[in-house]
Amino acid sequence: MTTNGWLQISFYLVALLALAKPLGGYMARVYEGQPIWLDRLLGSVERAIYRLCGIREQNEMGWKEYGMATLLFSAAGFLFLYALQRLQGYLPLNPAGFGAVPPELAFNTATSFVTNTNWQAYGGETTMSYLTQMLGLTVQNFVSAATGMAVLVALIRGLARKSAETIGNFWVDLVRTTLYILLPLSVIFSLVLVSQGMVQTFSDYQKVKLLQPVSYDQPVSDASGQPVLDEKGQPKTEKVTVTEQVLALGPAASQVAIKQLGTNGGGFFNVNSAHPFENPTPFSNFLELLAILLIPAALCYTFGKMVGDTRQGWAILAAMTIVLVVFVWGAYWAESAGNPLIAKMGVDQTLSNVQPGGNMEGKEVRFGLANSVLWASATTAASNGSVNSMHDSYTPLGGLVPLFLMQFGEVIFGGVGSGLYGMLVFAIIAVFVAGLMVGRTPEYLGKKIEAYEMKMASLLILIMPIIVLGLTAVASVTATGRASIFNPGPHGFSEILYAYSSMGNNNGSAFAGFGANTPFYNLTGGVAMLVARFWWIIPTLALAGSLARKKAVPAGLGTLPTHTPLFIVLLIGTVVLVGALTFIPALALGPIVEQIVMIQGVHP
Amino acid sequence: MTTHLRAAFVSLGLLTILTGVLYPLAVTGVAQLLLPRQANGSLIVKHGGPSDQPAGSALIGQPFDDPKYFWGRPSATGPFPYNAAASSGSNLGPTNDALTTAVKDRIAALKAADPDNTAPVPVDLVTASGSGLDPHISPAAADYQVRRVARARGLNEEAIRRLVEQQTEGRQFGFLGEPRVNVLLLNLALDAAR
């Protein structure tokens, strides 16, 4: 760890927290239907959309209707995206002539993008046509994020309203989120990113000259594609000399902006934001990092504003930030310590002003360690999943950080909307636990927390571990499941656990050596993503409906205030305890064993 | 139900046009108009003829293993290193034998090209980058190679060191990122200095 590294991390946190209030206040105005200056520009577009869709703006919905609209919209998105992938061979804008995406992969990908996960079992440039990328994947980057934010706003209204039957209009929340929040921010971010060198073009791949031509051995195959063997029975190879480099280009900036802002994370290029065209400079890296947590952080302020007490929002944001900082420290420490197996060979891993040092496998020089571990922590604290370094190559404890952060249920910032509604569920559990201790009926924001609310909250926190650990167990004991492992030993178990933790929490990041594109993982992972998304959304909306109907109880002497440091500690304790009790045994089998193996210097 | 079905499909269609067609087109238009060099890959155009093929991108590394050039980060792209049409990291885990073997081989290659260099090897010179296209090495990794390049080119070390210094980029705005040397630009400058 270096002083400069911590300076960069601190600067990032200060910028993030400073922007929470202005953006959060703006979003509150958007959701409360107050006048905003973008109305003049986009108001007519908004009204035209309502007219064409037959939406009555003033018609508010109860929670069941709101939930049905959410499900119908997600189902429509899924069907369209699935069909687009299966039919892309017959459709235009397919210069590489890709055929239909296989059914299990199309199912997995459609699920992945509709649930705001962006798990990518495919290679973009080798599977998806331009049309599929644009009309399917990019669009879901916007609308799946908007869906999560709409559900959050419905829950906030449930907390804010008293004796009310309705929690808002899903269509209005969806359209206003897209038009007034996601689109304008994306336009600004994408143009600033281009200024740093991110590509944005529809032209063909660019050929450039190599300064020093490179040769490699290529296996020879016959007409039927079978490898040709030489006299000794070894595959025959021929020397190929390459004198040109083909630069993959494309409209990257527009997709990267929304990929980060909407906590999507699906990369334009294979290596995501480690690619110099997808993250050219330290400043582009700072901006992309900022975009990962910007909306989740600002929504905390929106929440406080809408329930009429901004201190409530700051308390939640403080709890999230504290957990994040602790985990960033852990990852930074582990990666700075480097890899002892490599140090033994006379390699210098010291961190200094002339070299990044530490564990540099899978990392880029321009980012160094501080920016890599900050990204790894932020992208998994939020349910973003984009990477600027390869998590599979992290030291075992360094890799434990992103893994564990996902296993908290994506509530430390979390996905846009989904993270905060998850965290509010944990807040309800926290006040319930506190209420049990003093023997009083728990309240949150003046609403009594009763049996129904606790049933919904318990449903929510139980299902994720069952899915993640259950599927990990099945995959670890079957040959089909183990066939996808890339790194041997305990690291291989970590790869499986990481994959299901990622999909089962709608994150999308991966230990990328893992062979995810098999029917087994496509199908089980697809189910995990669906459960993770909609098992949360429906009980959350039920909770919103039930809370909205309640009368407000005035705070009394026995009421636990939910804006104090005491509550922040209680909330952190609840999240960390639930996560730790559930996942530490599994983590012990993967990263923790591997760390010991690495320090001992014995190979598995 | 039917009103919601209509709303679901029509709103999806309209938002698709807005975010999937109009948005990327508008951003591309503005980017091509205002920032054409960056938007098209930061190409290095040599001052020869205008029809000449670009000499690379300032953002994408190239493979080097000739002792007279500075070498960049090891690259895990297939089938050859620095394949900019198929970016990839190695994804090798920290305790994987394949990783330790690869590092050992890279150290051996560096020593073979520069046998009497006994300095410890900077870690970024023997570990694969995340993208496989990392255009940079650390100033320490450049310094490690100065003597070898000087000998291979029959130039004195001071001249080479000065070129390295010219091509060394500090932290952005003085504090963001890491100090670094762009390998392709440095090697182009070396060739030009001859």
The answer to the question of residue A553 being in a domain is: no
Residue from A161, A89, A384, A150 nearest A257 by CA: A384
Of B84, B100, B122, the CB nearest to A355: B122
Residues of A in contact with B11 (CB under 8 A): 49, 53, 55, 73, 171, 174-175
* Beta-carbon separation of B89 and A393 below 8 A: yes
B43 touches chain A (CB under 8 A): yes
3-class SS of residue B161: helix
Same domain, A184 and A116: yes
The torsion angle over the Cα atoms of residues A132, A133, A138 and A139, rounded to 10 degrees, is -10
Residues of B in contact with A486 (CB under 8 A): 91, 93
What value does the mean pLDDT take over residues A24-50? 94
The answer to the question of residue A172 being in a domain is: yes
Residues of B in contact with A4 (CB under 8 A): 171, 175
A198 touches chain B (CB under 8 A): yes
- The reported pLDDT for the residue numbered A217 is 87
Residues A134 and B128: their CA atoms lie apart, in Å, by 32
- Owning domain of residue A223: 206-247
The answer to the question of residue A216 being in a domain is: yes
- The reported pLDDT for the residue numbered B47 is 62
- The reported pLDDT for the residue numbered A219 is 82
Q: What is the pLDDT of residues B15-52, one digit of tens each?
A: 999 999 999 999 999 999 999 999 999 999 876 555 57
The answer to the question of residue A344 being in a domain is: no
Question: Tokens in use for B150?
Answer: 């000087």
Q: Does position A171 have pLDDT exceeding 70, yes or no? A: yes
The answer to the question of residue A228 being in a domain is: yes
B57 touches chain A (CB under 8 A): yes
How much is the CA Rg of chain A, to the nearest whole Å? Answer: 25
Residue A443: exposed, middle, or buried by beta-carbon count in 10 A (0-12, 13-18, 19+)?
buried
Which chain A residue lies closest to B34 (C-alpha atoms)? A195
Of B15, B59, B62, the CB nearest to A210: B62
CB neighbourhood size of B29 (10 A)? 11
- The reported pLDDT for the residue numbered B54 is 92
Please give the mean pLDDT across all residues of chain A: 93
Residue A74: exposed, middle, or buried by beta-carbon count in 10 A (0-12, 13-18, 19+)?
buried
- The reported pLDDT for the residue numbered A225 is 72
The answer to the question of residue A468 being in a domain is: no
Of residues A202 and A53, more confidence is placed in A53
Of residues A262 and A222, more confidence is placed in A262
Residues A29 and A301: their CA atoms lie apart, in Å, by 12
Same domain, A75 and A215: no
Give me the interface pTM, i.e. the ipTM.
0.96
3-class SS of residue A240: strand
A351 touches chain B (CB under 8 A): no
Of B6, B81, B130, the CB nearest to A390: B130
Residues A204 and A369: their CA atoms lie apart, in Å, by 34
What value does the mean pLDDT take over residues A579-599? 94
- The reported pLDDT for the residue numbered B184 is 97
Cα B158 vs. chain centroid, distance in angstroms?
26
A396 touches chain B (CB under 8 A): yes
B56 CA: distance to closest CA in chain A (Å): 5
3-class SS of residue A248: coil
- The reported pLDDT for the residue numbered B34 is 96
**Dihedrals phi, psi of A55, to nearest 5 degrees:** -100, 130
The answer to the question of residue A357 being in a domain is: no
3-class SS of residue A443: strand
Q: What is the pLDDT of residues B96-122, one digit of tens each?
A: 999 999 999 999 999 999 999 999 999
**Dihedrals phi, psi of A488, to nearest 5 degrees:** -75, 170
- The reported pLDDT for the residue numbered A444 is 94
Give contacts of A 126-155 with B, CB under 8 A. 134-136, 138-139, 141-143
* Beta-carbon separation of B19 and A358 below 8 A: no
What value does the mean pLDDT take over residues A444-452? 92
Residues A175 and A169: their CA atoms lie apart, in Å, by 10
Residues A576 and A146: their CA atoms lie apart, in Å, by 28
Q: Count of CB contacts below 8 A, A vs B?
A: 400
Same domain, A243 and A154: no
For residue A195, what pLDDT band results from cuts at 50, 70 and 90? very high
Residue from B164, B22, B194 nearest A187 by CA: B22
Q: Does position A604 have pLDDT exceeding 50, yes or no? A: no
Question: Tokens in use for A403?
Answer: 């893994």
Same domain, A32 and A111: yes
Question: Tokens in use for A54?
Answer: 């037959």
Same domain, A125 and A190: yes
A368 touches chain B (CB under 8 A): yes
A288 in Cβ contact with A256 (< 8 Å): yes
Residues A325 and A323: their CA atoms lie apart, in Å, by 6
- The reported pLDDT for the residue numbered A153 is 97
For residue A576, what pLDDT band results from cuts at 50, 70 and 90? very high
Same domain, A190 and A224: no
The answer to the question of residue A484 being in a domain is: no
Q: What is the pLDDT of residues A96-154, one digit of tens each?
A: 788 999 999 999 999 999 999 999 888 766 788 878 888 899 999 999 999 999 999 99
Question: Tokens in use for A208?
Answer: 């450039």
* Beta-carbon separation of A270 and B122 below 8 A: no
Q: Domain count for chain A, please give it.
A: 2
A309 CA: distance to closest CA in chain B (Å): 34
Same domain, A228 and A117: no
Residues A156 and A151: their CA atoms lie apart, in Å, by 9
Q: B interface mutation test: which of A42, A135, A366, A388 has the most B CBs within 10 A?
A: A366
- Residues above pLDDT 90, as percent of chain A: 82
Same domain, A66 and A161: yes
Residues A541 and A154: their CA atoms lie apart, in Å, by 7
Of A125, A342, A363, the CB nearest to B103: A342
Of A138, A205, A489, the CB nearest to B20: A138
Phi-psi region of B12 (alpha: psi -120 to 50; beta: other; left: phi over 0): alpha
For residue A231, what pLDDT band results from cuts at 50, 70 and 90? confident
* Beta-carbon separation of A253 and B39 below 8 A: yes
Same domain, A46 and A170: yes
Phi-psi region of A426 (alpha: psi -120 to 50; beta: other; left: phi over 0): alpha
Q: What is the pLDDT of residues B49-102, one digit of tens each?
A: 555 789 999 999 999 999 999 999 999 998 999 999 889 999 999 999 999 999
- The reported pLDDT for the residue numbered A328 is 97
CB neighbourhood size of A131 (10 A)? 17
Residues A510 and A516: their CA atoms lie apart, in Å, by 9
Same domain, A138 and A233: no
Question: Tokens in use for A409?
Answer: 């249920």
* Beta-carbon separation of B123 and A4 below 8 A: no
Same domain, A124 and A56: yes
Residues of A in contact with B4 (CB under 8 A): 65, 68-69, 72
Q: Does position A26 have pLDDT exceeding 70, yes or no? A: yes
Same domain, A292 and A229: no
